[in-house]
């Protein structure tokens, strides 16, 4: 049976593990390079991207993670996790892994709209809207070659995208009861 890792250095990894449990999939907390060897896919949760990146450096997990993704391991970053995976940021910190061809701005929605929810149309999930929770969310500022936008806000800002086996969402699907995005990501495992 496939094992799905959740990067458990900081942030809401417990919520992702709970969704995996609800979907009857084995979730594994990943902190060290040797944990990565045990998993077939990885989710990077929301939290503080600067802290997550600092701890990834400290535990030497960034380079092995990149190597696994280059070798085809499916990876999904939610919110701070999207920042971690980005090709580049419009800010100086943190230094992202550069795995997906997008430019991201942190805390893109300003103080007035620190947190908000939006019913998104995500064609890959069917007709029923997906209630997306945004918390001090980043936005995708530029989408490069090879990246497919999967959902956008009504103003056109992309908030979910895919590049091959890499998925990024600016919002937090692990904080609602809608498991469709997790199920969508898990399908990539069955295809090998």
Residues making contact with ligand GLN (CB under 6 A):
46-49, 79-80, 83, 106-107, 135-136
Nearer to ligand GLN, 105 or 163 (CB): 105
Residue number with CB closer to ligand GLN (34 or 107)? 107
* 79 counts as catalytic: yes
Query: 90 vs 152, which CB is nearer to ligand GLN?
Result: 90
- R_g of the chain, CA atoms, integer Å: 15
Alpha-carbon distance 19 to 61, whole Å? 24
Nearest approach, Cβ of residue 11 and ligand GLN (Å) = 6
174 is an active site residue: yes
137 and 170 Cβ atoms separated by less than 8 Å: yes
| CB nearer ligand GLN, residue 139 or residue 163 | 139
Catalytic residue among 79, 91, 128, 148: 79
Please report how many Cα atoms fall inside a 13 Å half-sphere around the Cα of residue 180, on the Cβ side.
14
CB of 54 to ligand GLN, least distance (A): 11
Residue 37, number of CB atoms within 10 A of its CB: 11
Active site annotation includes 53? no
Closest approach of ligand GLN to the CB of residue 133, in Å: 9
What sections of the chain are H helices per DSSP? 13-22, 33-36, 49-58, 62-70, 80-85, 180-190
Q: Which of 43, 185, 79, 44 is nearest to 125 (CA)?
A: 185
Shortest reach from residue 51's CB to ligand GLN, in Å: 8
User: Which of the residues are catalytic?
Assistant: 79, 172, 174
């Amino acid at each position: 049976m496939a094992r799905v890792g959740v990067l458990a250095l900081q942030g809401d990894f417990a919520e992702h593990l709970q969704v995996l449990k609800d979907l009857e999939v084995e979730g594994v907390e990943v902190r060290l390079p040797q944990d990565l060897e045990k998993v077939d896919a990885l989710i990077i949760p929301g939290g503080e991207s600067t802290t997550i990146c600092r701890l990834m450096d400290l535990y030497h997990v960034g380079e092995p993670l990149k190597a696994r993704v280059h070798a085809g391991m499916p990876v999904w970053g939610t919110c701070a996790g999207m920042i971690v995976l980005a090709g580049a940021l419009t800010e100086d910190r943190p230094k992202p892994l550069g795995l997906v061809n997008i430019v991201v701005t942190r805390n893109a929605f300003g103080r007035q709209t620190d947190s908000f929810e939006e019913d998104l149309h995500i064609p890959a999930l069917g007709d029923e809207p997906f209630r997306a929770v945004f918390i001090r969310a980043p936005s995708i500022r530029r989408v490069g070659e090879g990246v497919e936008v999967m959902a956008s806000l009504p103003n056109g800002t992309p908030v979910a995208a895919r590049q091959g086996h890499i998925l990024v969402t600016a919002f937090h699907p692990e904080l609602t009861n809608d498991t469709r995005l997790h199920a969508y990501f898990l399908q990539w495992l069955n295809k090998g």
